[in-house]
């Protein structure tokens, strides 16, 4: 009888833990859908942890490779000199495409390829990697991502 009760409690704890994981994942997907791609100012986006080694959410077909994320993380780890200089001189690859970096600092990296571009913003716990199409003005895209970044920092994320 006691064994059955303990097993029931364990199952409940595992189910509760699984629900928390699913809930967290759904929150990131909702953020991606509503606050980024859903605005119409971006067509692709992904949310990573601040180390760049865990994808929290990504839009369909937007595959940022681990090597690309490590280059982004490296730029943030050394924003004053080598990291920023490297992405500014060599450009940045995101989802298999090369972008010329037009701005890079300890919070934001902006890249362009023709009339399309990427806006990458680092918060306390996350890195937002976004893409805007040719039909969107760069200012509208950057405002969308920077505003979400400000909000996430404000709430400790």
Indicate yes or no: pTM above 0.85. Answer: no
d(CA 27, CA 39): 17
Which alpha helices (DSSP H) does the chain contain, by range? 2-31, 66-77, 82-90, 138-154
Q: Please, are residues 92 and 71 in contact by the beta-carbon 8 Å criterion?
A: yes
Q: What is the pLDDT of residues 64-113, one digit of tens each?
A: 999 999 999 988 887 666 777 788 888 999 999 999 999 988 899 999 99
Per-residue confidence (pLDDT) for residue 80, from 0 to 100: 63
Residue with the two structure tokens 């791609």: 37
User: What does CATH list as the number for 2-154?
Assistant: 3.30.450.30
CA angle 47, 134, 145 (to 5 degrees): 30
pLDDT at 126: 92
- Could you state, in order of their start, the residue ranges of all structural domains in the chain? 2-154
Q: Which residues contact 120 (CB under 8 A, 6 or more apart)?
A: 72, 94, 108, 109, 110, 111, 127, 128, 129, 130, 145
User: Model confidence over 15-65: pLDDT tens digits?
Assistant: 333 333 333 444 445 455 566 888 899 999 998 999 999 888 888 889 999
């Amino acid at each position: 009888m006691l064994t059955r009760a303990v097993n029931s409690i364990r199952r409940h704890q595992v189910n509760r833990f699984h629900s928390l994981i699913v809930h967290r994942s759904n929150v990131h997907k909702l953020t991606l859908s509503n606050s980024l791609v859903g605005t119409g100012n971006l067509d692709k986006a992904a949310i990573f942890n601040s180390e760049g080694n865990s994808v929290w959410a990504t839009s369909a077909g937007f595959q940022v490779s681990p090597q690309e994320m490590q280059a982004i993380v490296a730029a943030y780890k050394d924003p004053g000199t080598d990291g920023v200089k490297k992405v500014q001189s060599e450009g940045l690859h995101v989802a298999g495409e090369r972008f010329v970096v037009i701005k890079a600092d300890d919070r934001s990296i902006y890249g362009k390829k023709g009339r399309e571009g990427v806006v990458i913003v680092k918060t306390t716990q996350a890195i937002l990697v976004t893409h805007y199409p040719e039909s969107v003005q760069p200012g509208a895209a950057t405002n969308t991502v920077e505003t979400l970044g400000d909000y996430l920092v404000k709430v400790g994320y």
